[in-house]
Amino acid sequence: MALRLRLKPGWHTYWLNPGDAGDPATLRITATGALRGEAQTIVWPTPQRIRDASLMSYAYTGDVVLPVVLPMVRPVEPSAGRPPAAQPGQTPDGLGAQGLTTLSAHANWLVCAQSCIPEEGTFTLTLPVGAPRPSAQVGLFTQAEQHTPVPSPYPVSISPTGVLGVQGRELNRQSVAQAWFMPQERGRIGEAAPQALLFGPEGLALRLDPTADFTPAKPLSGILVLKAPDGTERALSVRATPLPPPMASEPSIAPSARPATEPNTGTTSGTAAEAAAGTATGGTTAGTATGTAMGATSPDPAGDYPAGEQPMAGHLAALGNGVPGPPHGGGESASGLFRLVVLGFLGGLVLNLMPCVFPILAMKALAVARMGQSERLHQKQSAISYAAGVILGFTALGALVMALRLGGAATGWGFQFQSTMFVGMITWLIFAMALNLLGVFVFLPPAFALSSSPRHGLVHDLLTGLLAVAVASPCTAPFMGVAIAGALAGPPATGLVIFAALGIGLAAPYVLLAFCPALAKSLPRPGAWMDYLRQFLAFPLLGTCVWLLWVAAVEGGVTTVLLVSSGMVFLAFAAWVYGITQRRPLHAGHDRDCTALYGVALLGLLAAMALLPALLEQAPQAGANPPSASGPGLSALPSGTEAFSEERLRALHNAGKPVFVDMTAAWCITCLVNERMALNTQATQAAMARYGVITLRGDWTQRNPAITAFLRKHGRDGVPFYLFVPAHGAAVVLPQILTPGLVIGTITPHDK
């Protein structure tokens, strides 16, 4: 069965994925009578591409045939207790007197020219049951079959940065002049974006433009059209297998893609990415797609750029390692996982030295000081409890990010700090810990008051580990970026192993201190100085609260600061009242007095919690920079710095300008340290001005799908992220920790 649409010149209807505009046709066929069945899955022919200004549509023109395969079966004979079976020469009741089958079809379709008209129709066809014979429309079905894409005989992969790799040695410049990909799902790639064609020793690749809805871990299905130099086209139905993130060396990556020297082509060098083994089922040979010629020709993947110069996507293609290479066996996959685990462990280890965890260092320092007065067994238990909290925190946060991304959310590492409610809650928690260190109250729930002190200490260590992850998550340390990207792009079980390795690395120094007798003996002896140290260490936590209040101001303005500050006052009052109950001497009526004070303290706590809905409603400040460019934290950009957008990046690159991309966030302490110590120094700014470098700064303080997509395109899931794109040559990813010398050395032209 098929729906035939004969369109007048200038009109078109749409494919399964209509592109940037339109709706696909739907067809539902039901068979009743001697045979019964139902079907609605259209076997879509290869569509044409229609470009309208900056929009791309996938559509059909002329005589369009949309087939549907309709399986039909005879009805089951009635059983005992039901109406009797039909007598010989008759059909069952209600099936018709002549053994006929009635086919009913309901169709909806949209036709467009200068305007669009939705249409629908209901059709009925009655056929006798008998031996099959060709119908008068057999030629239409033959034509539709010729226009249907065939399963790809080549393994196809998709990299985290959106590079579609096709493995086939015969796919070279001599056999393929142009290629383009049409995705089956709407919105996963930029439909109208140029698709740079690249060739490698094992096949070809297309540099796609992922959108915020692009999920690296999800297969990408669609139609790949290969156009030969003689003009013939092969339409292949492909399902691209996701590749793991690029195994680029930390701390920097230097892409090796070289500029194309002719239209529609590009060249790459270096090792190609891992391609999925195996071929698509079907085993059919490639066919030829003819179709009706369109008025608008197929866009040239490199035609929008000056001759002899590869588009921006070509310069960055090697970051995605998308050019297909030889398939690897399971041993290589195991070694890749091992490498990610090692990078995760090293990243967690280095994270101990990052500014993000400075607030936690106060509590860890106090724990180390107390360790000297503990028994060896308790020292080990304390370290294990802290490590368990860190590992649990990393895996839980990683699992949450993976779950949100599988659900379609554009999230990355540290996403929780993009919520004003979370910033407010973490501020209150750290403020309460500072009050605890100052002696305003003692964290000793009633359940622990009846138990031993060691048990209370172990729970405290576990909570400290969890808090360490919550506070440290805004930033990524060296080695950590690739590990997190690999964890989020791979299978969930693999990702959890990598996140656990991050936790082990963060907890390793404390565990080593507890389990190494030589190091434990070097700990200072306990004494009265510990009380002063405990009170002193409250001030780094109070400083952290000040920083978090600034983050709240950036995200939600003065109203958010007022709400968070009010909550701090309520918490301080509750802690003070609760502390009174802990210091009151025992006397007659003590329990009654304490119960009343507990109620007052609870009221203070509830007053703070009542502010959470108001915090949740706080939106980003109006009047800031456009969302596509930056966030609310970029209200005043320094001279020579512009708000980031991919369009501006491409425009500057095509104009021959060197560009430094700075992805930052107000809640990222490492980002702020890099800005003060490396990027905003007089020497760095002078070098930027001397070499004409334009800085594009993207603010990820609030959720920004455009920045999230850009980070994921380059194998990153958090900030800081720094990318230098020279006027000519390969783009360079800088490490997470910057120095003025490193930045100046990177932006200095090689001929200077």
Q: Where are the beta strands (DSSP E) in 565-690?
A: 641-643, 659-664
* Inside any domain, residue 142: no
603 shares its domain with 638: no
Does 420 share its domain with 355?
A: yes
Residue 627 lies in a domain: no
Instruction: Please indicate, yes or no, whether residues 503 and 433 belong to a single structural domain of this protein.
Output: yes
Q: What whole-number distance in Å separates Cα of residue 266 and Cα of residue 311? A: 9
Quick check: is 17 in a domain?
Answer: yes
Decide if 517 is inside a domain: yes
Query: Which residues lie below 8 Å from residue 445, measured CB to CB, with a gap of 6+?
Result: none
Last residue of a domain, one of 328, 347, 368: 328
Is residue 752 domain-resident?
no
Is residue 540 domain-shared with residue 436, that is, in the same domain? yes
How far apart CA 509 and CA 529 sit, in angstroms, is: 24
What is the predicted pLDDT for the residue at 708?
83
| Partner residues linked to 189 by β-bridges | 210
On whether both 369 and 478 belong to a single domain, the answer is: yes
Say if residue 446 is preceded by a cis peptide, omega within 30 of 0.
no
* Among 305, 328, 351, residue at a domain's last position: 328
- First-to-last CA distance in the chain? 70
CB contact at 8 A, 631 and 620: yes
pLDDT at site 405: 62
Same domain, 104 and 190: no
* Whether residues 722 and 690 fall in one domain: yes
Q: Are residues 415 and 314 in the same domain?
A: no
Residue 451 confidence (pLDDT): 39
> Is the domain of 218 the same as that of 339?
no
| Separation of alpha carbons 93 and 297, rounded Å | 58
Q: Does residue 323 lie within any of the structural domains?
A: yes
CA 581 to each of CA 432, 531, 607: distance values in angstroms, whole numbers, following the listed order: 17, 21, 20
8 Å CB contact between 340 and 482: yes
* pLDDT attached to residue 473: 65
> What SS3 state is found at 21?
coil
Q: Mark out the alpha helices in 262-329 (DSSP H runs).
A: 312-320
CATH, residue 113: 2.60.40
Same domain (yes/no): 527, 588: yes
Structural domain including 659 reads 632-747
What is the per-residue burial (b if ≥16 Cβ within 10 Å, else e) of 500-537?
bbbbbbbbbbbbebbeeeeebeebeeeeeebeebbeeb
Quick one: pLDDT at residue 237?
94
CA distance 155 to 275: 7
Find the helix or strand (DSSP H, E) in which 225 lies: strand 220-227
Question: Is 143 domain-assigned?
Answer: no
pTM: 0.44
Out of 617, 641, 676, a domain closes at 617
Contact, 715 vs 245, CB < 8 A? Answer: yes
Domain count, the chain: 4
| 308 and 449 fall within a common domain | no
Output the furthest CA–CA distance in the chain (Å, rounded).
Answer: 107
Q: At 677, which CATH number? A: 3.40.30.10
Contacts of 255 (CB under 8 A, 6+ apart): 315, 316, 317, 318, 319, 730, 731, 732
Tokens of 613: 């809905």
**Mean pLDDT for back-to-back runs of 10 residues, the chain (752 residues):** 90 90 89 88 93 82 91 69 45 52 91 82 88 80 89 91 90 92 90 87 89 84 94 93 59 32 32 28 29 29 30 34 33 63 85 67 62 68 87 86 64 67 84 86 51 59 80 64 66 83 87 75 66 80 85 82 91 90 64 78 89 74 39 55 88 88 84 86 91 91 82 78 85 86 88 54
Tell whether 346 is covered by a domain. Answer: yes
**β partners of residue 32:** 102
Statement to judge: residues 305 and 239 lie in one domain: yes
